[in-house]
Amino acid sequence: MLTEPMTLYKLMNLYLLKQVNFPLTNAQLTSFFTEHDYTTYFTLQQALNELEDAGLIHKEASHSSTRYDITKEGEETLNFFGKNISPAIISDMDEYLKENKYDAILMPHLFPAEMVTQMKAKGINLPPTIFVATDYVCTPFTEETNCDAYVIPSRHVRYDFLRRGIPEEKIKSLGIPVRKEFAKKVSKGEARKELGLEEDTFYLLVSAGSMGAGGIVKTIKLLYRWCKKQNKQLEKKRKNENENQRQTKLIIICGNNKVLYETLQKIVGDDDCVILTGFTNQMALYLKASDVCITKPGGLSSTEAAVANIPFIHAMAIPGCETRNLEFFESCGMSIGVKKTK
């Protein structure tokens, strides 16, 4: 066992980097050393800096993280001095890597795909890299990436990826993954009961996506006026004809957009024909409890509505990928697209 702690820390870092076929982040290395009480954060940073200065490890820094991988010289150093690491420490490191390893890199966004492409170009070893397209079109610059596989939403958009230069053998038409709750068989009545909604009401769900959507205030004002008008006419019919038709209510999901939530609160107040909510992890239930959904044509939100098997209307499209999503669902007879609001 070596008596010099700093030398031991350096060998431990080399061992950890040698045991994996992909870079480890500063956060991952820090997690191991501090959780096992081997040393402090600052001592670890000193060891990493000295390893880099000696050319034994390579550092790749981005705006959000710093990653390290071992160099050929680092491997030679470890082969020569690695026997000085005690079996107990090796056992700790092997257990940590076993618990925290990953077998593939899945990327549902273009930015990380661009990052791994640059890492590959620099000769950094990586596990299989898989790009998951979340729009029903090949988004611009996807052709610049070099991933091992490209999961696309539908075979009907395969040609769009091919014409952009994505190799045919890398394209996998597997669809957009969503949480299993959207495919779970739950009746409308069961969903309404769980959410505390009325059984005999017509519910119109308006979803702005997880972050909210532009132009939605105008759309909701129109829907709110229409909803009030419908319910007013219904009251007249009930008085004159003793009919028992359903009332109409709006369920509005604002996502994480607090400004939108506060703006709509001022518009609808405490009107009981509107249910206003912010971010929710019960989106699948809200879809299954509603009669119709109005949503912006994001690839993921549209897929969730389709999997939940609810009629939906596309509105508030942002020109670009969202207009292509709208066209795809319309062409398949799965939605109605609204291009303008009056």
Taking the chain, what is the end-to-end CA distance rounded to the nearest angstrom? 78
User: What local confidence, expressed as pLDDT, does residue 30 receive?
Assistant: 94
- Residue 14 vs residues 1, 145, 213, 216, 250: alpha-carbon distances, Å: 16, 30, 47, 53, 59
Is the Cβ–Cβ distance between 178 and 304 less than 8 Å? yes
Radius of gyration of the chain (CA): 27
User: What local confidence, expressed as pLDDT, does residue 193 receive?
Assistant: 95
User: What local confidence, expressed as pLDDT, does residue 272 receive?
Assistant: 87
At 2, the pLDDT band (50, 70, 90 cuts) reads very low
Helix/strand/coil (H/E/C) assignment for every residue in the chain: CCCCHHHHHHHHHHHHHHCCCCCEEHHHHHHHHHHCCCCCHHHHHHHHHHHHHCCCEEEEECCCCEEEEECHHHHHHHHHHHHHCCHHHHHHHHHHHHHHCCCCEEECCHHHHHHHHHHHHCCCCCCCEEEECCCCCCCCCHHHCCCCEEEECCHHHHHHHHHCCCCHHHEEECCCCCCHHHCCCCCHHHHHHHHCCCCCEEEEEEECCCCCCCCHHHHHHHHHHHHHHHHHHHHHHHHHHCCCCCEEEEEEECCCCHHHHHHHHHHHCCCCCEEEECCCCCHHHHHHHCCEEEECCCHHHHHHHHHCCCCEEECCCCCCHHHHHHHHHHHCCCEEECCCCC
In whole numbers, what is the pLDDT of the chain averaged over residues?
89
Angle, CA of 92, 98 and 99, to the nearest 5°: 90
User: What local confidence, expressed as pLDDT, does residue 1 receive?
Assistant: 43
Lowest mean pLDDT among 49-53, 155-159, 244-248, 250-254: 244-248
- How far apart are alpha carbons 48 and 74 in whole angstroms? 12
- How far apart are alpha carbons 233 and 279 in whole angstroms? 33
Q: Nearest 10 degrees: CA dihedral of 152, 153, 159, 160?
A: -90
User: What local confidence, expressed as pLDDT, does residue 189 receive?
Assistant: 95
What is the mean predicted confidence (pLDDT) over 316-338? 91
- Residue 205 vs residues 180, 209, 278: alpha-carbon distances, Å: 20, 12, 13
- Residue 127 vs residues 111, 137, 149, 171: alpha-carbon distances, Å: 18, 26, 12, 18
205: left (phi over 0), alpha (psi -120 to 50) or beta: beta
What is the mean predicted confidence (pLDDT) over 204-213? 69
At 341, the pLDDT band (50, 70, 90 cuts) reads low
User: What local confidence, expressed as pLDDT, does residue 214 receive?
Assistant: 54
Residues whose CB is less than 8 angstroms from the CB of residue 159 and which lie 6 or more positions away in sequence, other chains included: none
Is the Cβ–Cβ distance between 289 and 274 less than 8 Å? no
**Which structure tokens are listed for 263?**
């703006």
- How far apart are alpha carbons 248 and 229 in whole angstroms? 10
> 263-315: per-residue pLDDT in tens?
899 988 888 899 999 889 999 999 999 999 998 899 999 999 999 999 999 98
